[in-house]
Amino acid sequence: MHVVVNAAMSVDGKLSSRRREQIAISGPDDFDRVDQLRADSDAVMVGVGTILADDPSLTVDDADRRAARADRGKPENPARVVADSRIRTPPDATVLDGRAQTYLLVSEAAPPDFIEEMEDAGAYVIAAGQDQVDLTTTLAKLEGDGIDQLMVEGGGELIFGLLEEALVDELFVYIGSKVIGGRDAPTLADGDGFIEDFPEPELAGVERVDDGVVLHWQF
Amino acid sequence: MHVVVNAAMSVDGKLSSRRREQIAISGPDDFDRVDQLRADSDAVMVGVGTILADDPSLTVDDADRRAARADRGKPENPARVVADSRIRTPPDATVLDGRAQTYLLVSEAAPPDFIEEMEDAGAYVIAAGQDQVDLTTTLAKLEGDGIDQLMVEGGGELIFGLLEEALVDELFVYIGSKVIGGRDAPTLADGDGFIEDFPEPELAGVERVDDGVVLHWQF
Ligand SMILES: NC(=O)c1ccc[n+]([C@@H]2O[C@H](COP(=O)([O-])OP(=O)(O)OC[C@H]3O[C@@H](n4cnc5c(N)ncnc54)[C@H](OP(=O)(O)O)[C@@H]3O)[C@@H](O)[C@H]2O)c1
Ligand SMILES: NC(=O)c1ccc[n+]([C@@H]2O[C@H](COP(=O)([O-])OP(=O)(O)OC[C@H]3O[C@@H](n4cnc5c(N)ncnc54)[C@H](OP(=O)(O)O)[C@@H]3O)[C@@H](O)[C@H]2O)c1
């Protein structure tokens, strides 16, 4: 499986302010780049923190891109994947609106009645990991289901979890011309953080887009 | 006064790991760029957090650059400035080694006997602000002392304090090819963070240096 992380951060590495509201960091050209990346992926993944904060749809915005996917014999939208150990995703979340197949990656600590509720809402539930989702195992299962290119759209907790398991192949970071600041604001990679053996990706591309720049890192 | 901030951050916006140890983020070419920026400045400033974590010298490394400064009738090294509200700088800190003039910016909460101890160690103490250093007032006093170009080398708490007071004119950020991660690791701009009216600098330059890239932002 090929895992591509994409996120937009401020000048100082933040995905949002300490209030964890969605903040417009990028512009129209970057939005278009991200939409293409989505259209090129078999599935788009986020952590439950992003579901709760932003309630994203994770679908392809451009109708031509959806049509092109259909022409290739694919579903109009890539599948959606949420890492959600104990099922905090609300049943009325937009990712459960039926516009695309949705996977919920959960842990063994997920309450069985919540699992049932999610399955009733149309989600495929994959369980692995004791208290938190075992990302290596669940991504391997997704690959077994035909998901070869997985795009990850954040947030910082999930991105760190994937980096910790060495599951990330590529990282696209749009850096926008805003400073957010804040020692408690979410950053591109949160979690416990590394203290040694820092992952050292290669800088494969630098491109100015909108008022900012896209850095492309390869692991 | 012209205030130029310079810092090196990881792919994900961190200045260090959660352990707050000094981490080599940049390489030799960036080190050289920073040394030139120091040599071009009248003073180099850090917060006391950086003194306690790294005990930096803040002097110009290259002998030719020091000689060139002397030729221009300047001291070999720019002055050093530490923002240190209650004087936590230890008397044996390297910034007090006499190799350059050192200013300690303190608040009215700084204990008088500590002030005396610092003055005995050769520092010039400037006090303004009730509990924390009033950066606008103290920087104006530094300007009155002939400091026209002030370089700020971090850390993230001080950088946010300066941004909050709209004192920053330029920001150079070296982004190195390391991921540090960690929700508690210091970032380029910490403090309370903005929740609206985010500063929106312009991206004035993008240059690949060593294994990373230097972004130049203008406020
Ligand atoms: N600028 C951007 O591009 C962008 C993109 C996305 C999000 N955001 C912002 O980022 C913020 C949300 O980010 P976030 O970091 O709080 O949330 P997140 O990464 O979306 O979700 C984190 C949650 O995922 C769950 N998870 C399950 N298994 C995990 C594993 N193995 N490793 C790590 N996490 C796992 C955990 O909750 P459980 O333990 O309950 O499972 C964890 O708290 C919001 O403010 C949002 O607006 C910005
Ligand atoms: N990668 C890099 O380029 C780089 C550069 C520098 C530092 N670092 C790293 O950054 C970390 C230290 O950063 P830090 O953010 O903890 O410390 P910092 O910004 O160097 O110092 C922060 C301290 O400055 C004092 N201060 C006084 N007046 C202030 C004001 N008006 N606004 C804000 N602060 C004021 C405060 O202490 P008082 O309240 O006691 O005055 C504050 O806690 C270390 O891990 C160091 O290795 C990295």
In this prediction, residue A86 has a pLDDT band, given cuts at 50, 70 and 90, of: very high
Residues from chain B contacting residue A194 (CB–CB below 8 Å)? 17, 179-182
- Using the Cβ of B205 and the Cβ atoms of chain A, whether some distance falls under 8 Å is answered with no
Domain interval for residue A47: 2-218
Q: Could you count the other beta carbons within 10 Å of the beta carbon of residue B113? A: 9
Cα of B111 from ligand 2 centre, angstroms: 20
Residues from chain A contacting residue B177 (CB–CB below 8 Å)? 200-203, 217
Q: What value, to the nearest 5°, has the Cα angle with vertex A28 and ends A22 and A30?
A: 80
pLDDT per residue over B108-158, tens digit each?
999 999 999 999 999 999 999 999 999 999 999 999 999 999 999 999 999
Contact B193 A23 (CB under 8 A): no
Q: What is the SS3 assignment for A57?
A: coil
**What domain count does chain B have?**
1
Distances (CA, A) of A158 to A25, A33, A81, B54, B141: 19, 22, 12, 31, 46
Which conformational region is residue A95 in: left (phi greater than 0), alpha (psi within -120 to 50 degrees), or beta? Answer: alpha
Tokens at A205, concatenated: 């591309």
A17 pocket-lining for ligand 1 (C-beta < 6 Å): no
Residues 107-126, chain B, touching A (beta carbon < 8 A): none
Which of B187, B206, B213, B218 to substitute to test the interface with A, most A CBs within 10 Å? B187
CB-closest option in A18, A199, A211 to B193: A18
Q: How far apart are CA A13 and CA A187, in angstroms?
A: 6
Quote the pLDDT of residue A92. Answer: 95
- Using the Cβ of B155 and the Cβ atoms of chain A, whether some distance falls under 8 Å is answered with no
Quote the pLDDT of residue B175. Answer: 98
CB-closest option in A178, A183, A202 to B198: A178
Q: What is the mean pLDDT of residues A8-22?
A: 97
The minimum CA-CA distance between B159 and chain A, rounded to whole Å, is 9
- Using the Cβ of B194 and the Cβ atoms of chain A, whether some distance falls under 8 Å is answered with yes
Which pairing describes strands A202-209 and A212-218: parallel, antiparallel, or unpaired?
A: antiparallel
Residue B179 and residue A201 in contact, taking contact as beta carbons nearer than 8 Å = yes
Quote the pLDDT of residue B193. Answer: 98
Spatial CA neighbour of A154 closest among A103, A178, A189, A192: A189
Quote the pLDDT of residue A84. Answer: 98
Contact A181 B202 (CB under 8 A): no
Q: How far apart are CA A90 and CA A117, in angstroms?
A: 10
In this prediction, residue A17 has a pLDDT band, given cuts at 50, 70 and 90, of: very high
Residues from chain A contacting residue B163 (CB–CB below 8 Å)? 179, 181
Helices (H), chain B: 28-39, 48-54, 63-71, 112-120, 135-144, 156-164
Q: What value, to the nearest 5°, has the Cα angle with vertex B102 and ends B99 and B107?
A: 160
Distances (CA, A) of B204 to A29, A211, B189, B216, B219: 19, 10, 19, 5, 10
CB-closest option in B163, B171, B181 to A160: B181
A175 pocket-lining for ligand 1 (C-beta < 6 Å): no
State which residue of chain A sits closest to B200, comparing Cα positions.
A178
CATH of the domain at B49: 3.40.430.10
Residues from chain A contacting residue B9 (CB–CB below 8 Å)? 12-13
Q: How far apart are CA B200 and CA B203, in angstroms?
A: 9
Which of A14, A26, A179 to substitute to test the interface with B, most B CBs within 10 Å? A179
Mutate to test the pocket of ligand 2, among B6, B10, B11, B15 (most ligand atoms within 8 A of CB): B15
- Using the Cβ of B13 and the Cβ atoms of chain A, whether some distance falls under 8 Å is answered with yes
Among the bound ligands, the one closest to the CA of A23: 1
Q: How far apart are CA A98 and CA A5, in angstroms?
A: 24
Spatial CA neighbour of A12 closest among A201, A172, A166, A182: A182
pLDDT per residue over A98-131, tens digit each?
999 999 999 999 999 999 999 999 999 999 999 9
Q: What is the mean pLDDT of residues B185-202?
A: 98
Among the bound ligands, the one closest to the CA of B158: 2
Contact B213 A215 (CB under 8 A): yes
Residue A181 and residue A12 in contact, taking contact as beta carbons nearer than 8 Å = yes
Q: What is the mean pLDDT of residues B72-87?
A: 98
Cα of A117 from ligand 2 centre, angstroms: 48
Cβ-in-10-Å burial (0-12, 13-18, 19+) of B38 comes to: buried
Quote the pLDDT of residue A85. Answer: 98
Mean per-residue pLDDT of chain A: 98
Which of A9, A11, A29 to substitute to test the interface with B, most B CBs within 10 Å? A11
pLDDT per residue over B10-32, tens digit each?
999 999 999 999 999 999 999 99
Mean per-residue pLDDT of chain B: 98
In this prediction, residue B74 has a pLDDT band, given cuts at 50, 70 and 90, of: very high
Q: What is the mean pLDDT of residues A214-218?
A: 98
